[in-house]
Structure 1
Amino acid sequence: MALLLLPMFSLASPIFLLVFLLSIPLFLLIQRWGKTQSQSEKRNSLLLLRFASLACLFLALAGVHRKTQSSQLTFAFLVDISKSIPEAQKHFAINQINTIIDSLKPTDRYCVISFAKQPSVSVPLVAVQNNPYVSPKSILGNAIAQNGTDLASAIQLAISILPEVAQKRVVLFSDGLQNTGQIDSVLELAQASEIRVLTIPILAERKNEIIVQKLQVPPKIQKGRIFKVRATIENTMDQTVSINLYRNGVPVIAQKKVVLKSGQQTIVFDQQIFDIGNHEFQVEVIADDEVSENNTGYALVEISDGSRLLCVTSDKFAGQTIKTVLEASNFSVDVVTPSSFPIDFAQLQKNEAIVMINVSANELSLLQMNQIETYVRDFGRGLVVIGGNQSFGRGAYEDTSFERILPLKMIPKTQKESLSVLMLIDTSGSMANYVESDQKIGLAIEGVRLAVNALGEADLVGVVSFSASIGLQIPPTTDHQRVLKAIGTLRPRNGTQLFPALQEAYKLVKETEAKQKHIVILSDGKSDGDFESLTTQIAKNDVTITTLAIGDVAQDLLQTIARNGKGRYVHVKDMTQLPRVLAEEVHQIQEYTVQEMFVPRLHQTTRILDGISQTPHLYGYIATSRKETGQVLIKSHKDHPILAVWDCGLGRSVAFTSDLKGWGRDWIRWENFGKFWIQVVSSVLPRSSIGNNFDVQTSINGAYIGVTVEAKNLRAINDSSELLVRASFPNHHGQLVEMIRTTPTHYEGRFEIDELGVYLITAKTTGDQQTACLVVPYSSELANFETNQQLLRKIANQTNGTFKPSIAEVASRSDQLVQKAKDLAPMFLIICIIVFVLEMVIRQFRFRDYQSTVTRESTTEQWSMQNPELTGQKLEIDSSIQKLLHVKRQATTNSQMTP
């Protein structure tokens, strides 16, 4: 029920207004009885404010609405400019819009929205009289992605633009080939907003068009076996075309002339490949049709020949050892150095697993490390990392792709070994040179200072400086302050004799009882001597050597010293970074390396350790800690991981933190050495052939790729959390696909098409792994040119619109006025709050004034009672002052009247 106040206002709950009107007399009586006459006069303004705030409150409770009405027509013209629309049809839509505008009144309003994959406002809401013509450039010149059609977003944008009070209509020009967006919810919104959608179909059919629907090859084939490549082609008219077939971008057959009949047909090619790995096929149809982008198809085939492995190491002995062991078990192993690691990802994919032996992160580029991560996580391949003094934490794995895909964290959680470090510092003449405002020797001293401060109190540190001869000599000591004081005396001198200085440094450090002994050489490397035999001898006595090369260095010499000394080589190109680099090197030495004999403990039993109940001694390893989901199979005597494994995305990685030479020298003579490494490597191989418990199917659904997984029995997949599906994109990036269980054995998911090319979708469970390949050769806009009249009819019917309306039907005007009631309750509530706050502020100030007056009167009264004899004098003085002021005013008046 609504009580009519005025023709333009109504009440939703008039009872509140009635209560307010009846309470007004009572309110006035309370105010009058509660105050004296003088007080009422002072509080009239407050009474008015209180009345106003209560009035606003009751009007809000009563639900006051303001009614508006209009007969104005307001249009939103939606024009589909996606790739599936021929140019002539786009101009047809623009001409239709201008014809409709010509039949409207000057005061009617309209806007134009062009859309494809997303909508864009081409002409904002405007009156016809202000813009009576729509130019093609304003619509077709919009820079929006045209490789999709989103009808839902376009209609939703139109709903947000159209005013509330008007005869609202959306006129949609489209072929109805929607491939992204959800239309049903938007149609419900349009219906609730009383917006009619009139749909005018745009003909997408083309007279001369060829579409390569798909190119098919077997997903996996044995090397040398002949297989079929099938191209399915759809043609709208009989014609002769040329067909090219490419493999990895290279033509594999001569251009072939084919007569295509109208309709769909399949062209077959025989192929044979001997090169192992993934191969991409491309078919291209050369014809004089309207759209050439959909004349191409792609497919991917994997050529296999047993298990192919890539071993990456700079250690020839270790590389040959692992190669011999694995090839005895029918593995095919290629050994390369880090500098020869494949840059082309396609070459990397030829291998089912990578074995890295003592490889530093600094030896590979960021791109190569990221490719290894993608190779394991997204393509389901394997990785085995074997340690050494340049691996794990010592190899700068922390916060890199290596740490992300390995089962270990690079920072250990237990206490470090005792350490003895000797700094061998070059003080030759070149150290007198300046880098910016700093002298090289000053930067070296600062680096040593930071390095010493990074050591623990029990750690030993010594210094030997050299130029033409040995200078400063401080044997390793725990008196760090002595070292810091002594290095301040270092000065550059002529000559560079590294060899005798290294001999002296070795002599000093080997005499200490620390478990870790390390020499850090800071030099430009220009020196003579038999470094090969000296460094080999040093390494045999468990003393490692790290070389920091500075300036214009003899890199070969310092690299050889570091390699033979089982340490690291670092080239400090920016001398200003020398202090930081030196400090970090010492930090790594003391943090990561454990060197002492122990018997590893088998922690868990898995297939990797089948038939192995104990292992030989180890003499050292790189300390790490287990990740939360990592599985540690072998531990050290200090509970550090020695062998750990985990699943990384679709692939698997294994980490062995000791080495294959010095620390693991007893393992090479172990009878189960070959068996152990064969089982380790086998555990990380792709598991596509392990089982056949489910099938993976893929399909293109508009702008999305759909994935379905069908389990062959109820036990194949226990629950959806066990199923992991990952999609690898053409750019080698990837993402997990969320799968929804629709039946006990059926799972569905989808992801948005990111780019054109080959997509690999791999589904994995505990006991099985399957991979499917899908190719997106061109935009889904170009896959179908048949107007979807069924969808356009549905849009019109659900919004009380019209399908295929005439111009007169589009511009027809309803006799009934459009009415809208606007709720004014929020406005009255805001006013009520503002007035109430204003009243409180005024009351506060009046109270303060009243208090001041009372205080003054009280003070005067007290003063008068205390000084009665002065009270009369004050009155007399006040009377005299008044008389003097009266005389002054009279004098002023007389002077003004005198001419």
Structure 2
Amino acid sequence: MLRPFTDPESLLALGVVLPLLALGFARTLADRPRGLLWAAFACRVMAALLLIVGLANPHRRQPMPGRQVLFLLDVSASVDLEAVEQELAEIETAMKDLRSRGQGTELYALAQGLRRVEVADLRQWITLWKKGAGDTDFRSASSLAEGLRAARLALPADRAARLVLCSDAVPTGDAASAAVEQLRTEGVEVRFRPLAAQRAAEAAVVSFQPAAQAAFEGEVMRFSAVIQANQSMPSRVRLTHQGVVFAEKKLTLTADDAGTRVEFDAPMSVSGPAVWGVEIVPEKDQYTVNNRRQAVVRVRGKPRLLILHEPPSAMQALAQALRAQRFEVDVRPHRGLPARLEELAAFDAVVLSNIPASVLPAARLDLLRQYVADLGGGLAMLGSDNSFGLGGYHRTPVEEVLPLVSRFEKETEKPSMALALVIDKSGSMSGQPIALARQAAKMAVELLSARDQAAVIGFDSEPQVICGMTSASDVGTLQAAIDSLDSGGGTDLFPALSSAGEMLALSSARIKHVIVLSDGQTPEADYLSLTQRIADQGATVSTIALGADAARELLRAISEAGRGRYYETVDPSTVPQIFTRETLQASRGAIQEDLFLPVANFDHPLMAGLSPGTDLPPILGYVMTQAKPASELLLQVENGDPLLAYGRFGLGAGLAYTSDLTEAWGPEWLAWEQAGTFWAQIFRGILRRQESPGLAISSEVSPSGEWHVTLRQDRNAESEPTRPSRWTGQLAEGDAAPQSVPVEETGLGRFELHLPIDPTPTHEGTASLRLRDLDTGELAVRYHQATYPPEYQLRTTPDAALTTLPRADLSRADADLAAVTAPQSLRPLLWLTALAFLLLGVFLRRV
């Protein structure tokens, strides 16, 4: 079949040569018969035409008779050597048959790369591998895609070619689909023959992880290992510390894809980097390289814990127990909460106990959230009548951090409540105060159950019923009415309080409560008699004095006469917290007091060191809450209510214990001999793990073996790094000398390193990365524990791109192999023909 010309521009010469030949013929002086002259001219034209077409070099595709078959035999460690030996015998027979028919064939060993090999040499290799000798590095990977791409370079262009891949089709590198598609595009046929995976008894440690990469002295760390086996077998599993056996368990491994999980609990007793490992001693085993894995845990000294409690003396028993567990504990009243993030960063965790949100400025609540989210600190809250919703933490930044929320489903036997909100809307409340009052009223309504009722009355010089007594199930109507509350006018509380009393008198609710908010003076009236009448009807009255100009003495007297509670604040931002706290206090449903037995989730890493089935002390009361979807429950009450919960938030963690650790609800816990050990372990779970304030370092290893390390600096309120930094890095692998590695600044206060780590089985040790800040001299160290290559994992999922290939028949390895065609130039033939025409033309002119 003709193909295009390789030099088509040569054909342009025809436009010049042919006219010249015609001109010469027209002016010829030769005295020959006219017929001979025309015949000679035609011969010259044909010769010129053939010469010029020959210069353009046309060619045609010519079928080639030869064939070439390349055998790629997978000899990686995941393939059974007996199967390889049997396959090699069949390949040898097929190669002899091909050569006897004059066809080409070659054999390649495929593992970590591609090696051309003779049959006899490969047999010797197999013999050595069966004895555990030979080139084990070569067998440490199944680079199937790379092998297919390399094999195509060995294929001749003038023969029909076929690749026969004999493999278990389980790659350790890139998937083979792209390589197969590339070969198909290039016209190379690939066929597949499956090989059996490792059939000898084999077990491997698939993963080994500590519960955290960093710990504190005295912390009990839980280590988890997953072990796989290809058949059931007894085995011993050992936990090692610095190469010395620390603990051992005996078990039976099962041939399960999910593997067998084994857990060890071990105390972190010495500061500094500690190498922990797991190793297995199975009854039968083919390879030992995959019998162990290691991890490095950075152990720090004593953690610093800040406990805020009113009064501080009530926390001394807990503080002493924690100090005995190597904690530095600072117990303070609420005023001891640092006002700046830099001061708060001196502590590894903060505990709030019996501290209502109303005594903490809004900026401090935001500060606690930032401390957890950005600095990686821990925040815990203990239960009391000043904690969670009762403490006014509903919908605050602190509640965002905690794993529990203040809303709960009130039990059906709890009495219904009618709540009247009496809110000052005089001109002095304009701006932020009235906006926060609306927010507070809406939050209070949200906390009511569907069986409750609420009314909102605003007052200036006259009372204004914003919303009459309405079912709390109609939240939309209530909140829409609250949004209409606006400021303006004078201040006269008496008519509004009287209206609230009248509404409550008509309600059938079991609990009736009034919350009064005012920021100014009110005309004199008989408030105490009015309040007493409301109280005689079974209602209670609580009051909130906002600002320095509020009638504090009057509001205090009203709350006393109404058997309620009195609050005063100069910060309008605390009003929502006071409203939510007072609503839950009045509903009498948030606190459960009785004798309750905790139910523990002993499988959680924070419960490490506590034997399953341990009898935990009872509690005498707790605050009702609901668990967030992502929270992890460690303890529950028998009825399923959360008691102890943990959850991650940003870079840090939150912890919530709905009972307390004082004589009120927790005397049995304080008397328990394991109390210090237990709570030290729980609080260690939320401690700040960073080596230095203002810097977070994370690392991970990609599937390709790259070690990715990221440094993030804390930012201030303007989202700028808290300090300038210039980082340098040095990487040391095993016993090799440290080498400088580049640290790339990829963003504002963000630095990254991408470090290739040697994955070969001869390199199984610790790689250390030393990071130094040239501006401050600060030093940080991270560790990576190299492990065995993935070839030695018992993975059985084959690559579908290979298993769906046509099967190869070695009895006729080149069967159905389509012949290839090669380009053949027509230039010699055209030029010989042109010469013949020239000679014929000369003959016709001379004869």
Category of TM-score, reference length = shorter chain: 0.3 to 0.5
Structure with the larger helix share: 1
TM-score by length of 2: 0.40
- Tell which has more relative contact order, 1 or 2 (C-alpha 8 A, sep 6+): 2
TM-score by length of 1: 0.38
